[in-house]
Amino acid sequence: MTFRIGTAIKECTPDGVVVGEGEEIRAQTVIWTGGIRGNRLIEEAGFETMRGRVKVDEFLRAPGHENIYIVGDNSIIFNPEGRPYPPTAQIAMQQGVTCAHNLVASIRNQPLKKFEFHNKGTVASLGKGEAIGIAFGKKYKGRVAAWLKKLIDLRYLFIIGGIPLVLRKGKFF
């Protein structure tokens, strides 16, 4: 087993992958994991970052700024064990709800709400009709997990844009 960290994949072939400056790694199984980094504009704006992400307070504010909120891939929040929560759409959507509440509360001089992440599970697509996941306290795989992933995607589209966005962007089974 070989681990390559911080190495770009240039091409996938039937015999493996081509990385970096053209080096070919022959393999029947390649596992790629991509990291998440925030937008470089965050660093350029002068915020202290960790891989382009700002460690926000419990109200999702930038350190030292009571009127700047940072959410999604540009923010980093740590769980009670001191590990960062994964930068997923699930956490970003929950941050968006808390951030909206806190913006209104700030304008109205009302108390802010602390962000609390509620993990609903994880589903990962593995290709057409295949996926794996954990949701509702159960493990799923294969077609059932792929259907669950599709339903999650459609629900997300519905939440952000209603039925018109689902019909325009949603790819049905």
CATH topology classification for 40-107: FAD/NAD(P)-binding domain (3.50.50)
CA dist., res. 173 & res. 94, Å (int): 27
Q: Name the helix (H) or strand (E) containing 101.
A: helix 89-107
The residue to which tokens 């290709």 are assigned = 127
Q: Please write the tens of the pLDDT for every residue from 116-135.
A: 999 888 888 888 888 999 98
φ, ψ of residue 52 to 5 degrees: the values are 80, 10
Instruction: Please state, rounded to an integer, the average pLDDT across all residues of the chain.
Output: 88
Q: Please write the tens of the pLDDT for every residue from 73-114.
A: 999 999 989 999 988 888 999 999 999 999 999 999 999 999
Cα angle 16, 149, 87; round to 5:
75
Q: pTM for the whole thing?
A: 0.72
- Determine the pLDDT at residue 172: 67
Residues of the chain with CATH 3.50.50.60: 40-107
